[in-house]
Structure 1
Amino acid sequence: MIRHTLAAVAMLATAPLAAQSTTQDEITARYDRALAAGYKAMFLCSALANTERAGTKRTEQSVLDWELSGIQAPLDEIVPTLEHTVYRFANGEGAVSHVSVEWADDMPPRMAWHRQEGGCAIAPIGTTEPPEREYVAFSDSIYMWHGRVPQNRKLAAVIERAFEAGYGDRTRTTAVIVSQDGALRLSRYTGEYSPATPQRTWSVAKSLAATLVGAAVHRGEADVSQSAGLGESAEDPRRAITIDHALRMASGRYSDTPGNRTDPLYFGGATVDEVAIDWPLVSAPGTVYRYANNDTLAAVQAIEQTFAEHPPADFLQAVGMNHTVAETDWQGNYILSSQVWATAPDLLKLGQLYLDDGVLPDGTRVLPEGWAEHVATPSGPQPDGPFGYGAGFWLFNKTDGVPSDTYAAMGNRGQFIIIVPSMNVVIVRRGEDPAGHRFDIAGFTRDVLETLEK
């Protein structure tokens, strides 16, 4: 009897453990579904809400067809299978409130919520309700794109080729703008995209992050040669990492993948403080180039104390980027490595600001004199490959047929701002290129410049 009782107790004790046992493959598959649901919730929320904020509209189907197709594996196969719901204020007739996406029978749906003038944020996995917020109103602005575009048939032919996937198999161009001497030379859009349609900038946001650092330097609130403040104490070797090291992807910190995938932050509901700041050193700061989202996030955190008095939205408004939204994590930390939504004309204004060395059209200086040269100078360790790197900007200093002073903001899925000081040219190309299919930005830039007067 005692033996049987002990055996029964043993079976009861082990049964819950057996039921909870899960293989790594099962855990990974479950996590991938959670990320896919977060990805879908974020893109639907941001694409719809930020477009409506700009005074125009997009359909859910358009977002599914463009932003949510051609994405990276394994999310590409999961996202289409997940049911979503878009919730709106005013009994379903107002602006986007939040988006939920079902992903597991035993867990709440993933959720991204919209904040007044703040874009969308992804909630932590397991969140059951959106926070209480004030009603988010539609924008009452009407976007106006002024300017008569002179006819340039050679340039038009180059742009037509871009829209026909002539610069990369299966690439999908959504917008192109070309400006020279501050005057519009050509602009074109496709489908539901228009001058008032924001798209996620992806890593073009890193160049905006460098710009905000420059603005803080101009105000006397930051010094890029000073420590970025990483590490737990003054004795921590990571205190030797400067803001400039971080902008130049030369912090020396470990990253787990090339580019340092930050899915837990972007789509998992983690915060900047949780995932981006505490990585250890593996190389002396300033000695090794390693492209990493976390370095940009560290540079931004180094100036975040300035945002209370000088929020990014104020700078964007001063530059005229009125339809650009810098989004944050759910705790309010800016994700300026990727999570910015901007229209093509707004990106043109950022490029023009650099052509004008940080001076606005009304003569107001918002960046330090020479900041454009600073970000376009390869003073740190350099990447292998066809492009160099400055401070938050890519460099065309290795590219045949393109002026060597050309530099650029570049982002995933084909987001580009090309700045050519010697020709006083800015080129903006937006896209939703499928994973594994790159737009030939060097060839496109070369062809565009050949049609313009030098």
Structure 2
Amino acid sequence: MKKLKRFLLLLLVTIIITVVYNYPKLNIIAGYSAKSTASSVFVANRTLAFTNTTDTNFSPIYLASDEVNTDKKLTTSSVLGLLTRKAFYRDGLGSVLALRDDDVNKKYLAPKRALADNTTPFPYGNAAQNDSVFNNIDYSNLNKTLDILFDSVNQTRAAVVVYKNKIIAERYANGFNQNSKLLGWSMTKSIVSSLFGVLEHQNKINVFDKAPFAEWENDFRNEITIHNLLQMNSGLEWDEDYNSLSDVSKMLFLERDMSKSQLHKPLVGKPNQTWLYSSGTTNLLSGLLRQQFKTHQEYLDFWYADLIDKIGMNSMILETDLAGNYVGSSYAWATARDWSKLGLLYLHNGIWNGEELFSKEWVKYATTPTPTSNGLYGAQIWLNAGKKYPNTPQNMYSFNGYQGQNVYVLPDQDLVVVRMGLTKNADVDLLLNGIVESIKK
């Protein structure tokens, strides 16, 4: 009997220690599940059942059980009954995690949106494109190339190939179609960069100026420029680890104002000499964009009026944090077709349907390799300058996001390729080379 009691006591102590040690992680698990469920249901218009089997079914997120209140547009996620998180939807702003109960009932400013142009053909509007068959395209080979994306390993949800402004191939997984909103994750970072290009074209900002943060005025961080932040080459400390309680996970699931998550971090390197991928940096840039406007309403409107709605990405929803800042690191939703429009804007050197939104020089700047990035990164844009993909054109660049969200831009081939997936396993060289080879010169 004594042995049994000692065993049960030891088991109880072990369970308590395990729970205490992992309790902070439970916050992230419940937070991820609640936020993802709220966005999937209320932004992307999916069902809870569909979300559970396609978006929150991986370890350890599947440990959370989710409930949806459609009347209040609220989701609740609980991990083994030990910890519960709530997320809620706001019109025009998407979904966000609550940190206090009263967050749900607060009033939030929302951006003013332009009416969608549903009469002009793609890409300048949302109507069906004026179809044309290119004699120089091997459509059979093109479609075989797309087959590599839609298998059980790659788990692609959407793929769109645009050549000379025309969709020449398009495919969707079961449950998705051309109207499905898809989360771009870190592709949102390229939108943030583009907005700085727009402001610079409007002569409202110089990216080579010092970053205007009062918190940095009296130490070595006062040498950091906006340019350094855009290139993620500031030297600021940051831990971008999604598998632990890191800087990025605490920012996304525990912070009210994500634009300040990296603001108080110390230097661990030197500006312009220490490249480090950081979602905190991009949200810092979102906060810097907020400084350019007198009112919060102007800040909210600018992202859409001067870029997103301007190029007809009318399906897009940019989600904000509780403080009202756009989460530029991670949270933009749009259809695959609309994601392709951002690529087309760059392909056309910032000109959209005859109007210049940013300059050709900005495109060159944004796709110039960051020092110490080994040719991988520009200004919130990924590059192939270092020939990471040896069989892909060296001047290809891309907007990339978690789990295989990609917009590839191939300037010499007049191509934009969109892949929205759930895995990073797709062979980029095989995919892009196959598409390029399908187009005869």
Q: Is the 2:116–2:314 contact (alpha carbons within 8 Å) kept by the matching residues of 1?
A: no
Counterpart of 2:55 (choices 54, 62, 67) is: 67
Gaps of 5+ in 1: 1-21, 53-57, 71-75, 90-95
Aligned to 1:35: 28
Aligned to 2:139: 152
Counterpart of 1:391 (choices 359, 371, 379) is: 379
Q: Is the 1:231–1:278 contact (alpha carbons within 8 Å) kept by the matching residues of 2?
A: no
1:367 aligns with 2:358: yes
Deviations 1:277-320 (A, max 9, x none): 21100111000111111222222222222354353122211111
Shift of 1:356: 0.9
- Structure 1 window deviating more from structure 2 (280-289 vs 270-279): it is 270-279
Aligned to 2:85: 110
Shift of 1:270: 3.9
Change (3 A) 1:23 1:287: farther
Aligned to 2:97: 122
**What is the aligned-residue identity percentage?**
24
Provide the rounded CA distance (Å) in 1 between the counterparts of 2:39 and 2:440.
39
User: Following TM superposition, where does structure 1 have runs of at least 4 consecutive aligned residues deviating by more than 4 angstroms?
Assistant: 22-25, 104-107, 139-145, 257-261
Shift of 1:353: 0.3
* Aligned-residue CA RMSD (Å): 2.9
Q: Is the 1:376–1:393 contact (alpha carbons within 8 Å) kept by the matching residues of 2?
A: yes
1:295 aligns with 2:288: no
Provide the rounded CA distance (Å) in 2 between the counterparts of 1:198 and 1:333.
21
Structure 2 counterpart SS, 1:341: strand
Aligned to 2:68: 86
Aligned to 2:209: 226
Aligned to 1:3: none
Q: Which amino acid aligns with 1:99?
A: T
Shift of 1:33: 1.5
Aligned to 2:336: 344
Counterpart of 2:326 (choices 310, 331, 334) is: 334
Q: Is the 2:256–2:323 contact (alpha carbons within 8 Å) kept by the matching residues of 1?
A: no
Counterpart of 1:408 (choices 394, 398, 406) is: 398
Deviations 1:356-403 (A, max 9, x none): 111111x111113321111111142214xxx62111111112132222
Structure 2 counterpart SS, 1:112: strand
Provide the rounded CA distance (Å) in 2 between the counterparts of 1:221 and 1:155.
44
Q: Which amino acid aligns with 1:59?
A: T
Provide the rounded CA distance (Å) in 2 between the counterparts of 1:100 and 1:88.
11
Provide the rounded CA distance (Å) in 1 between the counterparts of 2:25 and 2:177.
33
1:424 aligns with 2:414: yes
Deviations 1:108-143 (A, max 9, x none): x3111111111111112x536622459x9xx99898
Q: Which amino acid aligns with 2:96?
A: A
Shift of 1:241: 0.9
Q: Which amino acid aligns with 2:275?
A: Y
Shift of 1:273: 4.3
Shift of 1:408: 0.5
Change (3 A) 1:182 1:106: closer
TM-score when scaled to structure 2? 0.84
Change (3 A) 1:288 1:412: same
Aligned to 2:11: none
Shift of 1:246: 1.0
1:442 aligns with 2:436: no
Map 1:51-62 → 2, pairs under 5 A? 51-52=44-45, 58-62=46-50
Q: Is the 2:241–2:249 contact (alpha carbons within 8 Å) kept by the matching residues of 1?
A: no
Q: Which amino acid aligns with 1:264?
A: K
TM-score when scaled to structure 1? 0.81
Q: Which amino acid aligns with 2:419?
A: R
- Structure 1 window deviating more from structure 2 (330-339 vs 147-156): it is 147-156
Gaps of 5+ in 2: 1-14, 119-125
Q: Which amino acid aligns with 2:343?
A: G
Aligned to 1:264: 250
Aligned to 1:312: 303
Q: Is the 2:233–2:370 contact (alpha carbons within 8 Å) kept by the matching residues of 1?
A: no
Provide the rounded CA distance (Å) in 2 between the counterparts of 1:252 and 1:218.
27
Deviations 1:58-84 (A, max 9, x none): 2222222222133xxxxx23x333332
How many residue pairs are counted as aligned between the two chains?
A: 403
Q: Is the 2:259–2:284 contact (alpha carbons within 8 Å) kept by the matching residues of 1?
A: no
Q: Is the 1:380–1:390 contact (alpha carbons within 8 Å) kept by the matching residues of 2?
A: no
1:281 aligns with 2:267: yes
Q: Which amino acid aligns with 2:128?
A: H
Provide the rounded CA distance (Å) in 2 between the counterparts of 1:250 and 1:24.
40
1:172 aligns with 2:148: no
Aligned to 1:189: 172
Provide the rounded CA distance (Å) in 2 between the counterparts of 1:318 and 1:394.
24
